[in-house]
Structure 1
Amino acid sequence: MNIPSSLIKEAIGWRHHLHQNPELGFEEHNTSNLVVDVLTSLGIEVYTGLAKTGVVGILKKGKSIRSIGIRADMDALPIQEMSGVDYASCQMGKMHACGHDGHTAILLGVAAYLAKYGNFDGAVYFIFQPAEENLGGGVAMVKDGLFEQFTIDEIYGLHNWPGRPLGDICVNDGSMMASFDIFDITLQGIGTHAAMPEYGKDPILAAAGLIMALQSIVSREVASLKSAVLSITQIQGGDTYNIIPECVALKGTVRALDEDTRLMVKNRLLEYVEKLPALYGVKGSINYQERYPATINNSECAAHIRRIAGEVFGENRVIENVPPTMASEDFSVMLNAKKGAYLWLGVDEVNRPSAPLHNPYYDFNDNAIAVGIELWVSLVEKTLIA
């Protein structure tokens, strides 16, 4: 397949514009407007309003009722950019540090190619999702009726992946990324003078005991061949040197690669918070929020895209059974509702290694855009065979 160089150049231009004008979750108004303008100019049917700033484009050819959906995330992160590129962010404290500008540009390029040259029979749904970073834009799109409003047989998504060579395509049968839950713990004690601790009930001591005990859930209760993470990420309590405070607050996250492990860790965490602080005379309470499930590929869809990628780029560029990451992705909610697969696209070159994701020096590798466009176009044309 020969993607026109003019189209790749245009996609890179879209990417640079988006990089220079990042918008946070559910605030992607200008980004959505750009997406709508491009799709409309291509003669693609456009729908807006799902999850506030989400956009869905529909391109139909032929008579078949078969369909496929491809998703790109659009939001940026609250990070001050330090990359020094000519098209660096113009928005103070905001940048595309996760490559969603690249994902959006790739999908726009796919839409442009398929609208002009596409050889397929069926419908392609171009899904531009807001608020992937922490805010659950994928959850919101599903709740707003993405799969009720649009007849999508299967759905696919990608994420650029620093640390993998440019053009590597990593697709597992099963788990790719972990679930994502958060919790807020309150430990209510009795404050007193620090010189007379016997008159109070110390929530700091209870917090120390609880934090240590919680680590035993993963180290001693999760099966050795399973994966989970329980991290306390914030501790807040006390105001001065000589007062034992009334209250301590803890915050943290739980991650797991399967639902059984996720539920077990959650239930044990709730039990620890209820029972252990009481040993110190302190009352424990918790607000536990389930955010995203694990990102688990449908094995048939994963095998399908591996076959296509092998035909297009060579078997040596397709990697199966990569170790999943304990980071999370709300595309998992779409995969829970519809069969599909999620893949990682390598972006590193020998002379241009990428900074890590969510790093102030990160910049999506423009040379990955052509690879991404060719992959998605091939997936559409080899799935919806004319």
Structure 2
Amino acid sequence: MKLTDLETLYPKMVERRRHLHRHPELSFKEKETSAYVAGILRELGVEVREGVGGYGLIGCLRGLLPGKTVALRADMDALPIQDEKSCEYASQVPGVMHACGHDGHTAVLLAVAEYYSHRLQEIRGEIRFLFQPAEEACPGGAVGMIEQGALEGVDVIYGVHLWTPLPLGTVASAAGPLMASVDDFLIEIQGRGGHGGMPHKAVDSVVAGSSLVMQLQSVVSRSVDPLNPAVVTIGSIQGGMAQNVIADRCRLSGTARCFDEVTRQLIRERIYALVEGITQAYGAEARIDYVTGYPSVVNDAVEFQRLSRAVHKIPGLKVEVSPKIMPAEDFAYYLQRVPGCFVLVGAGNEEKGIIYPHHHPRFDIDEEAMLHAAALLISMAETYQEESSS
């Protein structure tokens, strides 16, 4: 890898990232983003297939040397959050912003494509660029990309996530489970409304819902092995409209996260059992809408070991073993099909005020992290090809 040549592309990375940050698009609505990316890829001479899994793109460069097929992935969608930053590249779309770094991911992969577009004589095999829509919204864009051939013939896949909890200059990943599975649920409790002064004539859905919120805390604390990380969170509760009216209906919504399918099924069963038992005890009825989301991101052990060797080729970058983290990622679906590794790239910097967490209205990244991410993807691809051909 010629790091100095990659560094010359850094101003373009910043320019493209800021353009995307100004013009974010929500999941499954990335029409203009997709057209912007496709235009750049075609200017670079990259073979492009559009409309994959929605607004997804597959770019392809085939080298002049024999080798395998390496896929590199970036996500493109934004979030329904109002941008509260004061900067010249703040979102120009009310209520929508890139609050998770996907604009940076897209700019990084475009830079990698440009780097390789000038080096066809050095490329072994094929480099496939996956620009994915809708990572932020289930069922996610990865499934559609896979169904429409994104992984056909692919030998290995790599992806990065610019990660502000990590400081600039650090990358982190792990062999095996890295990010949690995610399931979401909505519980509707139907009671019988009445006068606040005559509770004995009603079935209070809010009381039943409140009891359920507390009892659901026992799912992890009393049903899941304490050495097996898991989370059940109730994020919202809605019931009632007036202080003197007993509400006939109460709605709860929440999320469940863990790292293996056995625990995932156990959590689901316990939630159903508690909902049924508690609502019946209060004389109410309940309906559950349980949405199975992304599986856990499970990195291939061999590819994680390769990560360490690839990072050592990049001056100023160090690698750490990451603990398991509870956010979810639909990169998991790619890893279920082919070996690969998903890597967190440090993008936080307290000195620059880059301190806000992902999905925060003032979220931002240290843009120098994009250079690290691009160098890492190139080094991973080249290390894989070199070691596979030896």
Q: TM-score, normalised by structure 1?
A: 0.94
Q: Which residue of 1 aligns with 2:368?
A: 367
- SS state of the match for residue 254, structure 2? strand
Q: Distance in 2 between matches of 1:88 and 1:243?
A: 45
- SS state of the match for residue 77, structure 1? coil
Q: Which residue of 1 aligns with 2:273?
A: 271
Paired residue type of 2:146? V
Q: Distance in 1 between matches of 2:125 and 2:173?
A: 25
Q: Distance in 1 between matches of 2:319 and 2:8?
A: 27
Task: From 116, 119, 123, give the equivalent of 2:118.
Answer: 116
Q: Distance in 1 between matches of 2:71 and 2:318?
A: 24
Deviations 1:345-383 (A, max 9, x none): 012335224222112222222211221121111122222
Q: Which residue of 1 aligns with 2:337?
A: 337
> Number of paired residues?
382
Q: Which residue of 1 aligns with 2:164?
A: 162
1:71 matches 2:101: no
Q: Which residue of 1 aligns with 2:202?
A: 200
CA contact (8 A) 2:308 2:319 kept: yes
- SS state of the match for residue 293, structure 2? strand
Q: Which residue of 2 aligns with 1:237?
A: 239
Paired residue type of 1:318? V
CA contact (8 A) 1:14 1:105 kept: yes
Unaligned runs of 5+ in 2: none
Query: Larger deviation: 217-226 or 355-364?
Result: 355-364
- SS state of the match for residue 170, structure 1? strand
Query: Larger deviation: 113-122 or 263-272?
Result: 113-122
CA contact (8 A) 1:22 1:76 kept: yes
Deviation, structure 1 residue 63: 5.1
Q: Which residue of 1 aligns with 2:328?
A: 328
Task: From 217, 226, 229, give the equivalent of 2:228.
Answer: 226
- SS state of the match for residue 305, structure 1? helix
Provide the alpha-carbon RMSD of the alignment: 1.7
Paired residue type of 1:19? H
Deviations 1:139-198 (A, max 9, x none): 332234433xx3211111111111322121101011221111111111112222222222
Q: Which residue of 1 aligns with 2:346?
A: 346
Q: Which residue of 2 aligns with 1:184?
A: 186
Q: Distance in 1 between matches of 2:67 and 2:9?
A: 29
Q: Distance in 2 between matches of 1:212 and 1:90?
A: 41
1:127 matches 2:133: no
CA contact (8 A) 2:83 2:90 kept: yes
Paired residue type of 1:126? F
Deviations 1:219-255 (A, max 9, x none): 1111111111111111122222222222211111111
Unaligned runs of 5+ in 1: none
CA contact (8 A) 2:185 2:253 kept: yes
Q: TM-score, normalised by structure 2?
A: 0.93
- SS state of the match for residue 226, structure 1? coil
Deviations 1:256-293 (A, max 9, x none): 12222111111111111122211111112211001111
CA contact (8 A) 2:65 2:123 kept: no
- SS state of the match for residue 236, structure 2? strand
CA contact (8 A) 2:59 2:129 kept: yes
Q: Which residue of 2 aligns with 1:94?
A: 96
CA contact (8 A) 1:3 1:370 kept: no
Distance 1:186-1:345 versus aligned 2 partners, 3 A rule: same
Deviations 1:61-99 (A, max 9, x none): 135351111100111111221221112211111111111
Deviations 1:114-139 (A, max 9, x none): 11035221011100011111241223
Paired residue type of 2:332? S
CA contact (8 A) 2:162 2:370 kept: no
Paired residue type of 2:273? E
Paired residue type of 2:136? E
1:142 matches 2:143: no
Query: Larger deviation: 354-363 or 210-219?
Result: 354-363
CA contact (8 A) 1:162 1:353 kept: no
Task: From 300, 312, 333, give the equivalent of 2:302.
Answer: 300
Q: Which residue of 2 aligns with 1:80?
A: 82
Query: Larger deviation: 344-353 or 324-333?
Result: 344-353
